[in-house]
Structure formats: structure tokens, C-alpha cells
């Protein structure tokens, strides 16, 4: 367990590495602020002894030497030099003058203390924000590199929670937790030095109580960490519900499920409330527990030291300074207790974030991967089989066929037969389980992934548009936007007319997921995007499904323009749209049941004819 805690702390410290120069500056600010805080406390002794009771500094010095711990020779000499100067100084000034000097010194110390405290607070905030900004980027980038199987089994809300909520807890630990851990530790050290220098026996008595403070806080911290893990999972569920209901709001309203979704959210929200209050109950207990046990030690020292003052064994001035130092010690201990809870929450978040970084994409690029450009001859599917991760039953088995340059290959069959899965293997969204897919004799697993996908354009039934302008959606992935070229491909995709009818034309923002344009318009924008990419290989996955007849006609014309002089894989339920395909592959049970051109398959009288006649009758 201790090793695990060390690893967590080490991982937090690693996040601070990009700002190590600022961290050194932060330490300087912290040490200076701590020194000024001690200097402020030290003003109590001359204020009480010389000004209020008319004793000299020499008497105070002898008392400190008698009751405090012995100082190293060099520090003792420095102390004596300072004392001699103070004795000379006090003899040259009246009480009123000394009071003014102490008041001015006190204000100066407070000003510079505030200045350096501000500096360390700002710098630690910068370090924390910078570290978590880098972490969020790395996490987001890692998500981008994962293969599709991860996103099919994980909820979107869970992913968002890891990027936003979990990293927020880590940022709090870096900015607030780490800053307080260092600064309050310096304060603890300062007050202990003051206490031991004033009266070492009283200091030891006051420290006996520390284990009583540490034990309950440690137990509470472990409990808080377990609760924090549960809370993060519950919060992620809320993100998932929000994401699902907002993205599917039309379906929710169409089925009058607003009340059901509100109740579902309410149940999860109440669970988050319950877990949060469990955490808050323990967090709230830390401060009073620290204060109570600390006060036991404080009261005991007050009683014992007060007796010594009455007997004349301890000067009132530095007993007062001792009490102030001990009382001041309670505050950093309370802050450190709160820091313990912050770190427990952050450690839980680190575990969840670390889990993501441990996940590897099942689609990996080989170190010696080669770059390809274009399709020159043939794409060959050789004994291709595929099984989804975690499943036993293969989705595709023993798929064998060839596609020549310029061919249009239609893939047909009932829903769930593996048509889309077969198409997803071409750009390596998944890797084949057995067999191989080769482009011009080269296994696509030996090809640089980016160069492979640069050769492929995809238009699916569910078109994804971003909440951006039309021109940027069409030119997605192209940094050098040529508006003339965008207009050209938009005309070819039968999209230019409806774009120009929009309020801002090509600068119209389409809304999230393209909600401000119709389904047929979204399809034509996707076709324009594919035309602008100008890929030699096309994948059209149900690109004309769920469109009215007018939209379908426009989209079909756009698709015809898109497929000119390209090799295309067309997945279609409407068999009338693929009658002129160079090759039709009929799938059944994940295997190729039939293969040929339209007329051949009709004459064969098999599955394809059966599907075709069913649609013709409809």
C-alpha cells in the first residue's frame, strides 16, 4: 500500500515537470513567506518584554539559552551578534519610538508576506493547470488512437468523465493540494523550530498529541478514497445519461419518454447526491477532529506552562510566543488534513486515468510500415475471417474475392450478416482475425495507417457533421481550403443550390451533428467531402437509405459523380441501386453465399434472386 501511494505521488510530481522552473520560483516564494511569518511572530517578544514590561533583550536571550535547545556554533554566533545589535538599538530609543518601529516593521512584514504568498498561490495554480492541460491532451490523444472496439463497448459519458471530471480532481491536487502540502509543511517546520528554540520540554509535551491526530485522519482518508472512486463512476453515469438523452432528444419526444428519462436521471442524480454526502460527511469530520485533538495538547501545555510562568521559571514574553506558535501550528495541521483528503480523491482519479493509458489499440502500426499512394491493380480478400473482441462466434468467415481498379463491388445480405464489418476491415478500423487483405499485393497491416486511410473515402447512412460552417465540414481535414474547389465538388454532389439558399451560404453553421440541414442535404455534404478528398477507393455504407424519392434521386446522381473512375464498395439494402455493379457479393451467416453480376445471380435463382423478388413485390 505504501509503495502504491509513493507511485501515485510520483505520478503527480511527473505532471509538474513541464513547469519545473516555475516550481523552483514557487519554493522560493514559499520559503520567503514562511520566514516572514516567523519574523512576524518573533516581534511578540520585544513588544511584550521591552515595551510592555520594560525588560531588556539580554534577559530574554539568557532565558532562551537556558530553556531552548542548544544552537550550532555558527548560528549561536549569528544569534549573539544580532542580540548585541538589538541591545545597542534598544538603548538608543524610547518605548514610543520602539513601538512605532515594531508597528511599521509589522506592516512591512505583512505586505511582503502577502506578496510572496500571492506569488506561490498563482504559480502553483499555473503549474497545476499546465500539468493537467498536458494530461488532458495526452488522454484525448490516446483516445483518438484507440481502435473502434473500445468506443463500441464504452459509454460516451464515461469517456467524457475521464477527460473532464477525473482530470479536474488531479488538477485540484496539483494546484491546491501540492501547494498546501509544501507550504503548510514549511509552516509546521517553522513553528516547531520556534517552539523548540523557546522551550524544548514544552515542545516535546505538545507533540505527544500528534499520533492522536494522525490515526483518525488516515482512516478517514482511506474511506474517502473508496467513496471518491464510487462517486466518479456515478458521475460518469450522469454524463452518459445526459449525452444519450440530448443526442436522442427527437426519439425521446417522439415516444413521449420525457418523464421516464427525467426519472432515470433523477435516480442516478440521487445516487450521486448520496455518495457525495458520504464523502462530505467524512471531509467535514477532518477539521473538527484535528482541532479537537490538537486542542487537547494545547490545553495541556497551557496548563503546564502557565504554572511555570507563575513560578517564575519561564518569562511571560516567550511563553506567549510559544503559545502563539503552538496555536498557529493547528492551522497547518488542519490544512494538511484537508490535503490528505484531496490527494485521496486525486489518487482515485489517477487510477481511472491510468487504466485508459494501459488500454492499447488492437490495430497497431508496424515500425517498418510502408507508405502507399493510390490503387494500381487489385484489392484481394484472402481467407478473411473476423471475430469481434470478447466474442466467440466469428462475424465473417473465409471471405475470398478480388476487386480490380475501377470496379464497383456491391455487398448485400440481411441485417447483421457482416456487411459493414467487412467494409470496416478495409481502412483497418479493425484488423482481420485470420487471412489477409492486400492492396496491389501488399498486406494492409504492413502499410502506414494514415497513408492507407488517405486512399479511402467513406460515406455512411449516418452522416457526421460538426458544429461548424458548411465550407469547413466539406473541407474537413484540409488546412488549405480552396473555396473554388469546394464549390466545384458541391456542384458535383448536387449540394451547391441548397447551400446558396441558406442564410450565410457556405459560411452557414450546420449545428451539432448537422441538425440545421435535412438528411438528404447531409448526405450530399458528405459526398462533397469525399469528392474533395479525391480518394481512389470508396466505401458507401447505406448511403441512400431512409431518404425520400427526390432526395434519393439527387444523392444517387451525386454518388454516380463520386464513383467515376474509382474503386467502390457499396453496401445497399435497395438492390435496384446496385444492378450495374461490376460484382455483387451476397453474404449469409458471415460467409459468401453467392457472387457475380446482377443478371448472373438472377439466373442462378439463389438468395440474391429471392431478395430481389421480395423487394420488387414491395
CATH number at residue 480: 3.40.50.300
Specify the range with the lowest mean pLDDT, choosing from 60-69, 283-292, 313-322, 529-538: 60-69
Residue 435 in any domain: the answer is no
According to the model, what pLDDT value does residue 318 have?
66
| pLDDT at 400 > cutoff 90 | yes
- Give dist(CA 404, CA 372) in Å, integer: 17
- 408-412 and 583-588 beta bridge pairing: parallel
According to the model, what pLDDT value does residue 4 have?
40
DSSP 529: H
| Mean pLDDT, residues 416-431 | 89
Q: How far is CA 302 from its chain centroid?
A: 49
Are 348 and 464 part of one and the same domain?
Answer: no
Last residue in a domain, options 358, 391, 414: 358
Residue 79 in any domain: the answer is yes
Residue 144 in any domain: the answer is yes
Band of residue 384 on the pLDDT scale cut at 50, 70, 90: very high
| pLDDT at 45 > cutoff 70 | no
Residue 475 in any domain: the answer is yes
Are 343 and 464 part of one and the same domain?
Answer: no
| pLDDT at 55 > cutoff 60 | no
Q: Give the containing element (helix H, strand E) for 436.
A: strand 434-439
| Mean pLDDT, residues 218-222 | 65
Beta bridge partners of 447: 370
Are 64 and 186 part of one and the same domain?
Answer: yes
| pLDDT at 339 > cutoff 60 | yes
Last residue in a domain, options 358, 387, 403: 358
Band of residue 216 on the pLDDT scale cut at 50, 70, 90: low
| pLDDT at 74 > cutoff 60 | no
Are 53 and 173 part of one and the same domain?
Answer: yes
- Give dist(CA 200, CA 162) in Å, integer: 50
- Give dist(CA 413, CA 572) in Å, integer: 9
Report the alpha-carbon angle 82-86-90, nearest 5: 180
| Mean pLDDT, residues 506-532 | 82
Domain that residue 522 falls in: 459-534
**Nearest residue to 408 via CA among 286, 585, 255, 249:** 585
Query: Measured between alpha carbons, how far is residue 367 from residues 382, 442, 584 in Å?
Result: 24, 16, 36
| pLDDT at 406 > cutoff 50 | yes
| pLDDT at 150 > cutoff 70 | yes
Q: For residues 225, 229, 230 and 233, what is the CA-based torsion angle, rounded to 10 degrees? A: 160
Q: Which residue has the higher pLDDT, 89 or 145?
A: 145
Cell of 496: 451547391
Residue 184 in any domain: the answer is yes
Residues 493 and 444 sit within 8 Å (Cβ to Cβ): no
Band of residue 121 on the pLDDT scale cut at 50, 70, 90: confident
Are 332 and 202 part of one and the same domain?
Answer: yes
Domain count, the chain: 2
According to the model, what pLDDT value does residue 253 have?
65
User: Could you read off the pLDDT of 452-471 as tens digits, one per residue?
Assistant: 988 888 888 777 788 888 88
According to the model, what pLDDT value does residue 70 have?
54
Specify the range with the lowest mean pLDDT, choosing from 217-221, 443-447, 593-597: 217-221
pTM tops 0.75, yes or no? no
Q: List the CATH number of the domain containing 181.
A: 1.20.1560.10
Phi-psi region of 546 (alpha: psi -120 to 50; beta: other; left: phi over 0): left
Specify the range with the lowest mean pLDDT, choosing from 69-78, 288-297, 357-366, 597-606: 69-78
| Mean pLDDT taken over the chain | 78
Last residue in a domain, options 313, 336, 358: 358
Listed in sequence order, the residues at least 6 apart from 604 whose beta carbon sits closer than 8 Å to its beta carbon are: 594, 596
Residue 400 in any domain: the answer is no
- Give dist(CA 147, CA 155) in Å, integer: 15
- Give dist(CA 387, CA 390) in Å, integer: 8
According to the model, what pLDDT value does residue 438 have?
92
Residue 363 in any domain: the answer is no
According to the model, what pLDDT value does residue 193 have?
81
| Mean pLDDT, residues 513-542 | 82
According to the model, what pLDDT value does residue 249 have?
67
Are 58 and 182 part of one and the same domain?
Answer: yes
Are 339 and 198 part of one and the same domain?
Answer: yes
Number of DSSP helices (H) and strands (E) in the chain, helices first: 24, 10
Are 81 and 190 part of one and the same domain?
Answer: yes
Are 351 and 463 part of one and the same domain?
Answer: no
For the chain, how far is it from start to end, CA to CA, in angstroms? 68
According to the model, what pLDDT value does residue 530 have?
83
Residue 11 in any domain: the answer is yes
According to the model, what pLDDT value does residue 380 have?
93
According to the model, what pLDDT value does residue 386 have?
93
User: Could you read off the pLDDT of 569-607 as tens digits, one per residue?
Assistant: 988 777 767 778 889 999 988 899 999 988 888 888 888
Amino acid at each position: 500500500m505504501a509503495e502504491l501511494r509513493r507511485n501515485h505521488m510520483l505520478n503527480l510530481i511527473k505532471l509538474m515537470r513541464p513547469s519545473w522552473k516555475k516550481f523552483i520560483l514557487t519554493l522560493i516564494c514559499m520559503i520567503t513567506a514562511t520566514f516572514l511569518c516567523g519574523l512576524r511572530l518573533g516581534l511578540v517578544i520585544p513588544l511584550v518584554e521591552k515595551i510592555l514590561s520594560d525588560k531588556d533583550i539580554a534577559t530574554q536571550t539568557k532565558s532562551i539559552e537556558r530553556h531552548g535547545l542548544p544552537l550550532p556554533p555558527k548560528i549561536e554566533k549569528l544569534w549573539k551578534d544580532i542580540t548585541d545589535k538589538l541591545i545597542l538599538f534598544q538603548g538608543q530609543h524610547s518605548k514610543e519610538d520602539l513601538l512605532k518601529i515594531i508597528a511599521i516593521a509589522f506592516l512591512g512584514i505583512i505586505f511582503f508576506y502577502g506578496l510572496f504568498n500571492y506569488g506561490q498561490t498563482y504559480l502553483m495554480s499555473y503549474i497545476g493547470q499546465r500539468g493537467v492541460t498536458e494530461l488532458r491532451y495526452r488522454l484525448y490523444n490516446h483516445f483518438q488512437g484507440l481502435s473502434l472496439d473500445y468506443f463500441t463497448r464504452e459509454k460516451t459519458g464515461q469517456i467524457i468523465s475521464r477527460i473532464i471530471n477525473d482530470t479536474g480532481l488531479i488538477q485540484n491536487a496539483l494546484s491546491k493540494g501540492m501547494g498546501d502540502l509544501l507550504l503548510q509543511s514549511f509552516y509546521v517546520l517553522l513553528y516547531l523550530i520556534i517552539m523548540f528554540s523557546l522551550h524544548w520540554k514544552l515542545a516535546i509535551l505538545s507533540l505527544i498529541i500528534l499520533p492522536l491526530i494522525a490515526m483518525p485522519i488516515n482512516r478517514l482518508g482511506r474511506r474517502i478514497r473508496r467513496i471518491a472512486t464510487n462517486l466518479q463512476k456515478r458521475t460518469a453515469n450522469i454524463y452518459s445519461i445526459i449525452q444519450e438523452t440530448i443526442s436522442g432528444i427527437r426519439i425521446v419526444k417522439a415516444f413521449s419518454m420525457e418523464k421516464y428519462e427525467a426519472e432515470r436521471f433523477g435516480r442516478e442524480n440521487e445516487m450521486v447526491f448520496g455518495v457525495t454526502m458520504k464523502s462530505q460527511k467524512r471531509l467535514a469530520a477532518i477539521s473538527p477532529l484535528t482541532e479537537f485533538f490538537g486542542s487537547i495538547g494545547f490545553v495541556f501545555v497551557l496548563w503546564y506552562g502557565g504554572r511555570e510562568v507563575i513560578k517564575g521559571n519561564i518569562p511571560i514574553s516567550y511563553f506567549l510566543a510559544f503559545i502563539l506558535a503552538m496555536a498557529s501550528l493547528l492551522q497547518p495541521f488542519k490544512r494538511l488534513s484537508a490535503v490528505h483528503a484531496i490527494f485521496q480523491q486525486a489518487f482515485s482519479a489517477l487510477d481511472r486515468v491510468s487504466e485508459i493509458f494501459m488500454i492499447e489499440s488492437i490495430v497497431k502500426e508496424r515500425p517498418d510500415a510502408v507508405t502507399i499512394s493510390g490503387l494500381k491493380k487489385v484489392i484481394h480478400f484472402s481467407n478473411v475471417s473476423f471475430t469481434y473482441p470478447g466474442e466467440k462466434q466469428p462475424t465473417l468467415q473465409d471471405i475470398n474475392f478480388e476487386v480490380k481498379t475501377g470496379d464497383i463491388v456491391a455487398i448485400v445480405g440481411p441485417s447483421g450478416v457482416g456487411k459493414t464489418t467487412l467494409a470496416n476491415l478495409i481502412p483497418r478500423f479493425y484488423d482481420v482475425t485470420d487471412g489477409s487483405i492486400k492492396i496491389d499485393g501488399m498486406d494492409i497491416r504492413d502499410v502506414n495507417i494514415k497513408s492507407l486511410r488517405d486512399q479511402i473515402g467513406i460515406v455512411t447512412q449516418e452522416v457526421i457533421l460538426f458544429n461548424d460552417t458548411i465550407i469547413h465540414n466539406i473541407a474537413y481535414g484540409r488546412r488549405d481550403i480552396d473555396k473554388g474547389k469546394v464549390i466545384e465538388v458541391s456542384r458535383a454532389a448536387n449540394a451547391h443550390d441548397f447551400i446558396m439558399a441558406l442564410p450565410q451560404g457556405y459560411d452557414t453553421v450546420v449545428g451539432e451533428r448537422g441538425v440545421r440541414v435535412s438528411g438528404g442535404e447531409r448526405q450530399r455534404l458528405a459526398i462533397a467531402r469525399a469528392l474533395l478528398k479525391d480518394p481512389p477507393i470508396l466505401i458507401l455504407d447505406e448511403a441512400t437509405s431512409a431518404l425520400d424519392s427526390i432526395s434519393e434521386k439527387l444523392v444517387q446522381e451525386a454518388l454516380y459523380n463520386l464513383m467515376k473512375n474509382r474503386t467502390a464498395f457499396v453496401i445497399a439494402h435497395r438492390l435496384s441501386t446496385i444492378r450495374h455493379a461490376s460484382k455483387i457479393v451476397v453474404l449469409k451467416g458471415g460467409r459468401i453465399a453467392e457472387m457475380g453480376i446482377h443478371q448472373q445471380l438472377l439466373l442462378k435463382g439463389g438468395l440474391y434472386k429471392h431478395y430481389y423478388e421480395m423487394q420488387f413485390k414491395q
